[in-house]
Amino acid sequence: MPTPPQPTMIPCETYPFHGRYVARARGIKRLLFWLLPRHVGFPLWLELQTTLLRLRTLGTPHRYRHARDLWLNLGAGDKGQAGWINVDIAPLPGINCVYDCRRQLPFPDQSATAIFCEHFFEHLDYTEEVPVFLSECRRVLQPHGVLRLIVPDTERYLHAYTQGRWEPLRRLRSMGNDNYDPYLNTPYHTRMELINAVFRQGHEHKFAYDYETLAHVLQQAGFRHVCHQQFGVSQRAGLAIDQPQRAPESLYVEAIP
């Protein structure tokens, strides 16, 4: 079968790796990108991989059936903490529980003293995954346990954007005068490119939060005590394992069942 042609592409500097990946594709990948654009097919491929992960980890809840007084770091990425249960779908260094926690947490009822979740919650679908995730957090937390959620602060970003200058946005994103994003390894040419990258991040970010909205979904999930926190400050000693470099852009919220 002849190789399907690819349209002429000038790679976009914002997320340049997406354009390069498509342009360099050969063989079956080139055919797949011709049949299905990468921005559609790649999220589908990731979901299929995650489905296989869920099948491989069906026995994980049994492993923790007698667990008590857990400290959970959900969506930990490469920021796993010693002495914690660090959960992520990728087997990165420091991850000691590979699991998809969007649909279920593999821990018994009232088995967790504290739950920490930094820059993961915005990756959850607002209508399908957020209610399940928060209900699961409430289920596994002890009566006086604390859930600490940290997300990009939409209010800060929109306030910075409306000032009509780059400098407020640079401070939030820890960027220099070249407007190069240290987290996504990409430059920005317009302020709206940055806003879209922060609140969409390709296909990865699903919802943007301010305190009012985050408090609302927590209360809907049955959390009785919700409060706006600050970087490094927590109701539970040892829970604020926040990344200092993310402090300028982050919203900190804690909730107790």
pLDDT tens profile 155-194: 999 999 999 999 999 999 999 999 999 988 888 999 999 9
Per-residue DSSP letters for 134-196? HHHHHHHEEEEEEEEEEEEBHHHHHHHHHTTSSHHHHHHHT--TT-EETTTTEE-SSHHHHHH
Cα 114 to the chain's mean position, in Å? 19
* Predicted confidence (pLDDT) at residue 36 exceeds the cutoff of 80: no
pLDDT tens profile 92-135: 999 999 999 999 999 999 999 999 999 999 999 999 999 999 99
What Å distances lie between residue 238 and 71, 137, 234, 242, 255, CA to CA? Answer: 10, 18, 8, 10, 16
Q: What is the CATH number of domain 54-153+209-256?
A: 3.40.50.150
Confidence band, pLDDT 50/70/90 cuts, at residue 11: very low
User: What are the boundaries of each domain within the chain?
Assistant: 54-153+209-256, 155-200
Cα 184 to the chain's mean position, in Å? 13
What Å distances lie between residue 150 and 235, 240, 248, CA to CA? Answer: 15, 10, 12
CA atoms within 13 A on the CB side of 147: 29
For the ranges 4-18, 23-37, 160-174, which has the lowest average pLDDT? Answer: 4-18
